[in-house]
């Protein structure tokens, strides 16, 4: 398995290609704007996308989906049955499934959006906008913030410290680093000291 990163100017979003080195099939994670640059990137690596993982349906993570599906015959995995007019293979929390010869686990982490999913492939965690390096995803309410932190604590931060966090925006991280340094997990007491 090899993972490649592509930066999309649309929404300043990260797009990932996860390639099966034996079959040369690939999974695309969050196809933002599907540009000539992204097409050249995929073709240049010699992989054929057969699956798409959608972490959540915000436009700057799925806008390239329609174009991608005009070029490649790929199955779309999402917590939604439909994204726009595109039919998806619905995944549920804790579901383990296979795509491109790779085992994938879906972890539901609502809060940033109701449909947020983290996908785990071996030691890789594709977190979308739920978790970034040093930050917890933005939410629209205190309830959403509490829910997101609770779900991340139960399902993501309990992974091994050497698991790599590959977010929808910004640089990669590790679970160990997020446990130590993520500002979203720290609260400040009235005396000025911090606690996790």
DSSP result, 89-119: EE--TT-EEEETTEEEEEEE-TTSSTT-EEE
Q: If you search the block for the tokens 């977190």, which residue do you land on? A: 127
Question: In terms of CATH, what superfamily is 2-195?
Answer: Ribonuclease Z/Hydroxyacylglutathione hydrolase-like (3.60.15.10)
For the record, the structure tokens of 122 come out as 């071996």
Domains of the chain: which residue ranges?
2-195
Q: Are 1 and 19 in contact (CB under 8 A)?
A: yes
Whether 183 shows a pLDDT value over 80: the answer reads no
Per-residue pLDDT tens digits for 136-159: 988 888 888 899 999 999 999 999
Average pLDDT over residues 52-70: 90
DSSP result, 141-177: SHHHHHHHHHHHHHHTTTS-TTPEEEESSS--EEHHH
Per-residue pLDDT tens digits for 17-43: 999 999 999 999 999 888 888 888 889
Q: Which pLDDT value is given to residue 147?
A: 92
Cα–Cα distance, 90 to 57 (Å, whole number): 13
Radius of gyration over alpha carbons of the chain, in Å? 17
Cα–Cα distance, 70 to 170 (Å, whole number): 28
Q: Tell me the pLDDT of the chain averaged across its residues.
A: 90
Prediction pTM value:
0.91
Q: If you search the block for the tokens 């000291």, which residue do you land on? A: 193
Average pLDDT over residues 166-188: 85
């Amino acid at each position: 398995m090899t993972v490649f990163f592509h930066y999309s100017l649309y929404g300043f979003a990260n797009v990932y290609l996860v390639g099966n080195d034996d079959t040369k099939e690939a999974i695309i994670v969050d196809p933002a704007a599907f540009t000539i640059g992204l097409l050249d990137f995929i073709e240049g690596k010699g992989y054929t996308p057969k699956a798409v993982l959608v972490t959540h349906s915000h436009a700057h993570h799925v806008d390239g989906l329609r174009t991608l599906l005009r070029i490649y015959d790929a199955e779309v995995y999402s917590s939604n049955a439909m994204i726009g007019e595109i039919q998806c293979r619905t995944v549920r929390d804790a579901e383990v499934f296979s795509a491109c010869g790779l085992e994938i686990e879906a972890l539901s982490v609502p809060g940033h959006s109701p449909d947020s999913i983290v996908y785990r492939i071996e030691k890789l965690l594709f977190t979308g906008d739920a978790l970034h390096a040093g930050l917890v995803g933005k939410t629209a309410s205190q309830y959403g913030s509490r829910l997101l932190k609770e779900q991340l604590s139960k399902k993501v931060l309990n992974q091994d410290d050497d698991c790599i966090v590959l977010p929808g925006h910004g640089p990669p991280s590790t679970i160990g680093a997020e446990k130590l340094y993520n500002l979203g997990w720290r609260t400040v007491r009235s005396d000025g000291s911090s606690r996790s």
